[in-house]
């Protein structure tokens, strides 16, 4: 039994820390789930548009991310799907190497149990504070743009990575209704596609950067304590400049 546990721990450690280069895997062209927004990540910044980007830094050992735009800053944790085609970023200041490790052990155990039962990998669904990006390419020199809306596939996850129960839904995604209009963080009337000024909300069709804004708990208020808040701030600045 001890040998089995040691083997499992060794395989988990190899897969989590040594199998991939997270800094390289992070880079490329990504589509925001349930949105037409496409963002491009290079080795230093996350580009919402050609002119709007914010800096980020990874701690690949702790699996955490910090980001900034102007004087706004935020942080969270990141996790790749098993096939590395999906990147999930959870906003929050309470993550460190130990908390992400415990989360990932539980997440991996759930994925293995699902695979043993013959089920495919469970992919994450964007929820409040949870940004889901689906890989389009590894091209870090691509241009941010709009694309066809790419829905999330899988079960919604809580902040700790556990799957949400049936009937639970994402506030940001369920708020999206065709023809419904709302106000984004800066009071601009959106084009009737999404609520909260989060994924894909474009004020009067004038600001492409809003289309690439990532979701997060502070997106509605434009706060700086989350990835979504930093993105909302970037989109706001781009809209003000365009005006």
Residue boundaries of the structural domains of the chain: 21-242
Query: What is the distance between the alpha carbons of residues 160 and 1, in angstroms, rounded to a whole number?
Result: 29
> Can you read off the two tokens belonging to residue 115?
């695979």
Residue with tokens 């894909």: 200
Query: What is the distance between the alpha carbons of residues 176 and 172, in angstroms, rounded to a whole number?
Result: 7
Average pLDDT per 10 consecutive residues for the chain, totaling 243 residues: 88 92 96 91 92 94 94 94 95 95 94 89 88 94 69 50 42 38 39 37 38 39 45 46 48
Query: What is the distance between the alpha carbons of residues 49 and 157, in angstroms, rounded to a whole number?
Result: 28
Burial of 99 (0-12, 13-18, 19+ CB in 10 A): middle
| Residues ≥6 apart with Cβ < 8 Å to 20 | 80, 84
pLDDT at 157: 52
Q: What is the biggest distance separating any 2 CA atoms in the chain, rounded to whole angstroms?
A: 66
Specify the pairing of strand 124-125 against strand 28-32. Answer: unpaired
pLDDT at 47: 93
Query: What is the distance between the alpha carbons of residues 72 and 56, in angstroms, rounded to a whole number?
Result: 12
Which residues make beta-bridge pairs with 64? 59, 77
């Amino acid at each position: 039994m001890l040998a089995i546990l040691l083997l499992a721990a060794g395989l988990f450690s190899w897969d989590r820390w040594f199998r991939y280069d997270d800094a390289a895997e992070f880079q490329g062209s990504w589509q925001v789930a349930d949105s037409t927004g496409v963002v491009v990540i290079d080795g230093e910044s996350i580009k919402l548009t050609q002119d709007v980007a914010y800096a980020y830094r990874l701690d690949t050992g702790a699996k955490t991310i910090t980001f900034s735009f102007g004087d706004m800053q935020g942080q969270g944790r990141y996790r790749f799907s098993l096939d590395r085609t999906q990147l999930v970023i959870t906003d929050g200041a309470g993550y460190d190497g130990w908390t992400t490790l415990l989360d990932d052990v539980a997440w991996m155990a759930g994925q293995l149990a699902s695979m043993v039962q013959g089920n495919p990998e469970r992919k994450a669904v964007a929820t409040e504070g949870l940004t889901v990006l689906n890989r389009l390419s590894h091209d870090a020199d691509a241009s941010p743009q709009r694309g066809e809306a790419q829905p999330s596939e899988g079960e919604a996850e809580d902040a700790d990575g556990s799957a949400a129960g049936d009937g639970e839904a994402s506030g940001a995604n369920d708020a999206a209704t065709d023809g419904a209009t709302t106000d984004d963080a800066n009071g601009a009337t959106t084009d009737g596609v999404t609520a909260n000024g989060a994924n894909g909300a474009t004020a009067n069709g004038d600001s492409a950067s809003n289309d690439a804004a990532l979701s997060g708990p502070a997106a509605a208020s434009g706060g700086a304590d989350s990835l979504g808040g930093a993105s909302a701030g970037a989109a706001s600045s781009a809209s003000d400049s365009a005006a």
